[in-house]
Structure 1
């Protein structure tokens, strides 16, 4: 049974995308198609802020792209050695909050110790942050241009100071139309399609509707989390499953249940 995942491929230590592997273990033939491209912004300003940990009460990363922006700041600046010797220790003396295993893994690669990865989405991460004593200094929140407002609003309502900085923006992947047309021509209409972000949904839905035609009602649509599920519902599409957490295993379990495949 064929399933389509609208995301970038990311190889793990085994040289395979973990979503492809996990779905393969379930007997599903999964294909990845990238739908987003990214441009990093304000890296000089971000580097300056990373060099001043004494000005902040901690860090918040809600996407791998934000962590990659931090990596770029360190690679392109004179702070790399200072980071290794001093700044890393100073930031590790403060909380570094993250959403999801992929983001947590990249944060660890920076040498930082993340917390909150099990929260699963920004709303629950906000609850985790608010359960702690509010910091006297603002939390530094590098984010994308299309960030949701749930986390900033929740922190603001609880009196947690926050300083947001837009460090990347997204756009449609230039090859999305051709990739989707090629997939449908070779594989046909998939049994399930998973969306990984509201913006990815916006950029790909028109093509999927055109290519699927009258068969679109047969597709089980899946979302990696509640924010994307809400975006699907707002477009009038039935959400067959929302991953219990943004992980390959949770998504595979949700898709299996939606396709009524039974236990693995």
Structure 2
């Protein structure tokens, strides 16, 4: 039997499937320790392993960056704004890409056209970064905060836990202007990767979703592969928005992470998989 005590080698290891976007090459996903050698599609997860869970990550989302020249124009005019709000690591990546594009055309696809990247970066380092740093820079989550700091900006709000809590505080005080700099698209390997996982690993004890869009693009395959056994699976959500999306699909939410961190998710799943959990 499984107990609340730390897991030992004698206890059964429960299989957990995490469906989220994966870091691009060179980035370190906080949930990931090392990638499996086969096409970098599956990942072993360290934090959940410490809780006696055999976790596998399958990417379900890809990203396409948009409006980068327009974004750069706005970044070049900090005097027109009271601060910055980064809603995800991808938004930070959009800043990095906007410093590398040539600003002559919107471009198509995931990688913007590259021109003289020295000018934008030089202006950012010499003046824009310091000007933006004199204003509040808000983020949601530690992962986004760490990337913002690499840009040379000081972030606040990472401990808010989720976007809703941070937004409630900010919106009551500051008028905002938003710009969409990326969009989520289905990962091209969702079905193949899920087929491979189910054929080799069987039905997971738990499946965790990290966004409503990730749920939308993968749930059909999960239902088809799980069949009637789907009732045995404990579904987990990284936050309240994803939990509501799960409930809207008629799926019981066994746990919602108290904060969007590997530690909180691992603890929630571990508790949900205890024999007394419903």
Fold match, TM over 0.5?
A: yes
How far apart, CA to CA, are the structure 2 residues paired with 1:90 and 1:220?
48
How far apart, CA to CA, are the structure 2 residues paired with 1:15 and 1:212?
25
SS of aligned partner of 1:162: coil
Structure 1 portions without partners, runs of 5+: 130-154
Residue deviations 1:29-69 (CA, integer Å, cap 9, x gap) = 11010001110000000011111111100000111111111
SS of aligned partner of 1:165: coil
Partner residue of 2:181? 167
How far apart, CA to CA, are the structure 2 residues paired with 1:16 and 1:104?
20
Structure 1's consecutive aligned runs of 4 or more residues displaced over 4 angstroms after TM superposition are 12-15
Q: Compare the two structures and name the one with the higher helix fraction.
A: 1
How far apart, CA to CA, are the structure 1 residues paired with 2:44 and 2:130?
33
C-alpha contact 2:30 2:262 (8 A) present in aligned 1: no
Mapping of 1:115-194 within 5 angstroms? 115-129=156-170, 155=171, 158=172, 160-194=174-208
How far apart, CA to CA, are the structure 1 residues paired with 2:184 and 2:60?
10
Partner residue of 1:260? 274
Mapping of 1:220-231 within 5 angstroms? 220-231=234-245
- Picking from 41, 60, 66, the partner of 2:91 is 66
SS of aligned partner of 1:79: helix
Deviation at 1:170, TM superposition (A): 1.1
| Aligned CA distance change for structure 1 residues 13 and 182 (closer, same or farther; 3 Å) | closer
The normalised TM-score by structure 1 is 0.85
Partner residue of 1:33? 58
Partner residue of 1:111? 152
| Aligned CA distance change for structure 1 residues 202 and 111 (closer, same or farther; 3 Å) | same
The normalised TM-score by structure 2 is 0.80
